Structure 1
Amino acid sequence: MSSGTIRSRAARGPALLLLALGLLLPLAACGPAGNTAAAPASRAPDTVEPLAVAPVPQLPATTASADGRQVTVTSAERIIPLNGSLAELVFSLGLGPKAVARDVSTTFRQAADLPVITQAHEVSAEGVLSLHPTVVLADRSTGPAEAISQIRAAGVPLIVLDDAKRLADVGPRIDTVAAALGVPDAGRQLRERTEQRTDAARAAVPATTGHRPKVAFLYLRGSASVYLLGGPASGAGSLIEAVGGEDAGTAAGLTGDFTPLTSEALVKAAPDAILVMSKGLDSVGGVDGLLKLPGVAQTPAGLDRRIVSIEDGQLLSYGPRTPQVLREISAQLYPAGAR
């Protein structure tokens, strides 16, 4: 699940989010105690790395869509991925030159010049159809449903994937997209590369003495007064566990994906560190502004200003750049000299 997915849910109705306890808090950038957290100087640029040799699609190919349909793709000449995670897969497979549009959560540099076909984080069917796509990729959180139906009614092959919320979802997601676009061999190469890099990133996590650090994932949008604390279905727990941490929301007994941030909920979670998306952190005025939110300053993370900040388009993408995300979380969670 990408940051665009979370924003899309919020845009469709914050009240529904609150009723469903669908709230998420990103972890803020973790730094040595007493210091204001900042983005690490070594942070990689917002780009994707395609396979060395661009594949040639072998089509037609029929794929099982997550909504129960069998979808046949006959051409991959004009691809539209409807969120940043799927766009990352298309470009990583080496098919970026065939992408003809992007959504607002697709932030990496190679896609910057593509037209945006979302409005307020929702898909514009008219915008999609005006670009004459030969295949459209979506996931279950893509909406509104009317737009998806309208695209399909126009005869465009549209494949829905399950949302990715765990490291275990990355490989199957790569396989599905690669098969749908007629490049299964490239998919196997990308999956192998991603798994090797993930294993290396996990192996490089520093060994800790004593307890596992508890990390709270906070989703922040200060301009909309949206402040959410992640639970077991937020999508961040798998990343936190992979770097040797414990998801604070889950440990505190939260259920579902997100819950509104309150002093009581955060103090009960008692995180040692806070994980956030970079734009979310900026939206509340940086670390100083974050410490003014309910309960943050009273937590061990707040007292030590231990904030881990990851780029919005990367944190929850669960794709080929996830190994990079793990390395960045680990570097900020276990800063040199503070282990």
Structure 2
Amino acid sequence: MRRFWPLVVFIMIFCIVWLLADNAQKPLSTVKNYQRIITLSPSLTETVFALGLGDHVVAVTDYCDYPAQAQALPSVGSYTNTSLEAITRLQPDLVIMLNGQQQRQQQLEQLGIKTLVLDNSTIADIKETIQRIADLTGRQNEADKLLTSIQAQIDYVHNKVRGLVPVRTLVGIAHYVNSDQLDTVYIAGQHDFYNELLKLAGGVNVYTDTTVKVPSVSAEGIIRMNPDAIIDVFPEQKDHQSDMKQVIKQWQSLRNVNAVKQQRIYIIEHDYASIPGPRIFKLLPEMAQLLHPELDWQDHQLND
């Protein structure tokens, strides 16, 4: 059950952000040396630190536990329930948040506190988030290096799997694990970064409906889609108490699914696996290797 809670938050964030994506705030026009920054989501905290701004961050939110320095910072609450009092008490000169936190943004602007509202629903959004924070804070050199590294990762995998037949894949992002049978499984749809990473890794999403942003399916639905591979994203490894053998057993209960018959059930356990920040691109080569083990991957070293 503990594993499911962070992913419930992730799903809520994705839904809210997508609904409000068209209302993203334009970047502030003037570069300023911001000294007291508050970040209101784990992905934004990670991005700000990756740009070398960690010494300027004075507070974060719950679940902002990367990098390690962020764990020592005070929290101003959760993503969905940040404390206006806690934020103002710290006297920030910049608060960086996601689209779903528009109400808090309006309150802060009324108090004269500068805000930057961003989106991170897609790969392009994640890259733009890096660039916009860098443009605002004068960290263009750091952003160039980071974006170049990300693009090199993408290009490497794309060139490696080019021309191969895509593997029909289901990407699970949340489900209860305290029973022998699978019940409802939240999966990657056609509108998120998991779907984009899957395509780049040489896979194709078995879920093709474009109307639902964060779909949930039953065991019967998975059987009907009949994926040839299943990737179960299982983040917060250090935090959950789930038995991975039990998780595999759940998937194996779907005996007629090709992925089960071919023993192509893969569980990815990384603390960054549900955080759409710079590290999410580390999933790309790992997914590609799982989907295409027939290729020679010795020329690429996965980062842990």
TM-score, reference length from structure 2 = 0.75
> Is residue 96 from structure 1 mapped to residue 54 from structure 2 by the alignment?
yes
Residue-by-residue CA offset, 1:191-228 (whole Å, 9 max, x unaligned): 223222332343345975xx421221222152898631
For residues 309 and 198 of structure 1, the distance between their equivalents in structure 2, rounded to whole angstroms, comes to 19
Calculate percent identity across the aligned residue pairs: 22
- Contact 1:290–1:296 (CA<8 Å) still a contact in 2? no
- Contact 2:46–2:278 (CA<8 Å) still a contact in 1? yes
Aligned to 1:115: 74
Quick one: which of 263, 266, 280 aligns to 1:307? 266
Residue-by-residue CA offset, 1:55-114 (whole Å, 9 max, x unaligned): xxxxxxxxxx82358575644111112112222221111111211222234332342222
Mapping 1:57-76, distance limit 5 Å:
66-67=24-25, 70=28, 74-76=32-34
Q: What is the DSSP-based 3-state SS (H/G/I as helix, E as strand, rest coil) of the residue aligned with 1:313?
A: coil
Q: What is the DSSP-based 3-state SS (H/G/I as helix, E as strand, rest coil) of the residue aligned with 2:278?
A: coil
> Is residue 156 from structure 1 mapped to residue 113 from structure 2 by the alignment?
yes
For residues 69 and 169 of structure 1, the distance between their equivalents in structure 2, rounded to whole angstroms, comes to 14
Mapping 1:89-238, distance limit 5 Å:
89-108=47-66, 109-119=68-78, 121-141=80-100, 143=101, 145-166=102-123, 168-205=124-161, 208=164, 211-222=165-176, 227-238=185-196
Q: What is the DSSP-based 3-state SS (H/G/I as helix, E as strand, rest coil) of the residue aligned with 1:164?
A: coil
For residues 247 and 87 of structure 2, the distance between their equivalents in structure 1, rounded to whole angstroms, comes to 38
Aligned to 1:43: none
Aligned to 2:278: 320
Gaps of 5+ in 1: 23-64
- Contact 2:51–2:134 (CA<8 Å) still a contact in 1? yes
- Contact 1:266–1:295 (CA<8 Å) still a contact in 2? no
Aligned to 1:8: 9
CA 1:337/1:194 → structure 2, altered by over 3 Å: closer, same or farther? closer
For residues 201 and 111 of structure 1, the distance between their equivalents in structure 2, rounded to whole angstroms, comes to 31
For residues 202 and 337 of structure 1, the distance between their equivalents in structure 2, rounded to whole angstroms, comes to 13
Query: Residue type matched to 2:35 in 1?
Result: E
Aligned to 2:37: 79
TM-score, reference length from structure 1 = 0.68
For residues 100 and 296 of structure 1, the distance between their equivalents in structure 2, rounded to whole angstroms, comes to 48
Gaps of 5+ in 2: 298-304
Worse overlay, 81-90 or 226-235: 226-235
Deviation at 1:132, TM superposition (A): 1.9
Deviation at 1:262, TM superposition (A): 0.9
Worse overlay, 241-250 or 326-335: 326-335
For residues 223 and 150 of structure 1, the distance between their equivalents in structure 2, rounded to whole angstroms, comes to 39
Instruction: State the structure with bigger RCO (CA 8 A, min sep 6), 1 or 2.
Output: 1
RMSD between aligned residues: 3.7
Query: Residue type matched to 1:220 in 2?
Result: A
> Is residue 246 from structure 1 mapped to residue 247 from structure 2 by the alignment?
no
